[in-house]
Chain A
């Protein structure tokens, strides 16, 4: 049981390049989400999904796309990277077994992205 895995761990991009951050979980969780973490800003929600085929925008969705073709995978795509997207990106998953947002979120180890 690997939990939530993310690849790559580090990435450097040039402005305008595109890339996909991978996220996978093996806990059969329905809910998956992407956050970015910047100094002094905590974690800000980018996109989330409550199940395969269902995605929605979070607090800071601009410049990012997601898809959810399977329960396990939730990739995050940067369409045209900008220096403002330099950040640490975390993927998280949780069960929807209980009502509300009380369910524990399990986080991956993060991807540290630098855009030059």
Chain B
């Protein structure tokens, strides 16, 4: 059972388009992290959100944590080929160090 469901699983778009990736759960998380992973490498942290309704921006990337802390979204504006990669969300629970990872969204941005 996957506690964190990501959608879509695959996304292929043209350079300059906008996109949104979703991370949903029936469970409440105390924090939500987003990682990006490039081929042959380990995931790298993009952002951590901890407050329900929180919105964080990282250049062209906008991250939002749902009010109920059960879901999150990642919006990319004017995607570039350098955004290509696997995007993983990971939920944290109070009192636990281990993260629960989603299944990932593989993004390909065509030039």
Contact = CB atoms under 8 A, between A and B. Distances in A.
Nearest to A50: B97
Nearest to B103: A42
A101 to B, nearest CB: 3
B59 interface: no
By DSSP majority rule, is chain B's interface helix, strand, loop, or mixed? Answer: loop
B40 interface: yes
B98 A45 contact: yes
Interface stretch (A12-20, A60-68, A75-83, A103-111): A103-111
Interface of A: 4, 31, 33, 35, 40-45, 48, 50, 58, 90, 92, 94, 96, 100-102, 104-105, 107-110
Given A40-B9, A43-B43, A101-B96, 10 more contacts: A4-B42, A35-B101, A41-B2, A42-B2, A42-B102, A100-B30, A100-B94, A101-B93, A102-B30, A102-B31
